[in-house]
Chains A and B, each alone.
Chain A
Amino acid sequence: QVQLQESGPGLVKASETLSLTCTVSGGSISSYYWSWIRQPPGKGLEWIGYIYYSGSTNHNPSLKSRVTISVDTSKNQFSLKLNSVTAADTAVYYCAAMDHAEHFQYWGQGTLVTVSS
């Protein structure tokens, strides 16, 4: 059973960079597409992007220019950086494992990141 745990600051200042890390346990880092998904308070889910263990990535076109996703296979971790944040980036950020069949099979518990002015 794959388990994921997000970590990182819960408060980020506007115009700065949001940085989160997801630690993977109970599964192989090479088995899934490691993804980030966010959910603004009271709203729906938005896919941010994913990285494969090989380093290949894909991002939501609406966020692409601000998003960097990286992986550290030696630590079983992958990370998200979102730069130039605004209040609109305030959300619960989830890391998730996307199966090769394109569904998000495992999810972290989520972490709330608030962008302050």
Chain B
Amino acid sequence: QSVLTQPPSVSGAPGQRVTISCTGSSSNIGAGYDVHWYQQLPGTAPKLLIYGNNNRPSGVPDRFSGSKSGTSASLAISGLQAEDEADYYCQSYDSSLSGSRVFGGGTKLTVL
């Protein structure tokens, strides 16, 4: 059971917009700690997609955006493309677990 909760799967057709939620608690997201998002294409290492809740590293398309409110965060992907099919993970810091860095369980995005 992950400290951060994500839906196991989401799907959307090309061109559509999808969102992936990441629900935490008062000891992580709700305490004000930043949320970061990673994209893991099949058979590859995770790649930083969003950092500091809503910042994109250089090279990440602006189709990807992040937000945070209360004890939850969301990743939005607009203009879905086939190449977006991947696993997505959120990550934050949890103050109740001796300084642990925690990940969500991951969400599989399927482009229909």
**Beta-carbon contact of A105 and B48 below 8 Å:** yes
Binds A, one of B9-17, B72-80, B89-97: B89-97
Complex Cα spacing A64 to B106, Å? 24
Interfacial chain B residues near A64, Cβ < 8 Å:
98
Q: Using Cβ atoms and an 8 Å threshold, which residues of chain B touch A44?
A: 2, 89, 103-106
Size range of the chain A interface in the assembly: 20 to 34
Is B99 touching A47 in the complex (CB atoms < 8 A)?
A: no
A103-B48, A109-B45 known; A98 and B101 CB under 8 Å?
A: yes
Q: Decide if B97 touches A102 in the complex (CB within 8 Å).
A: no
Question: Are B36 and A103 in contact (CB-based, < 8 A)?
Answer: yes
Q: A103-B52, A104-B36 are in contact. Are A46 and B103 (CB under 8 A)?
A: yes
Within 8 A of B (CB), among A63-117: 64, 94, 98-99, 101-105, 107-110
Pairs A–B under 8 Å by Cβ, sample size 12: A44-B2, A44-B104, A45-B91, A47-B103, A60-B97, A98-B101, A103-B91, A104-B91, A105-B48, A105-B51, A105-B57, A109-B45
B interface residues, Cβ below 8 angstroms from A? 2, 33-34, 36, 38, 44-48, 51-52, 57, 89, 91-93, 97-106
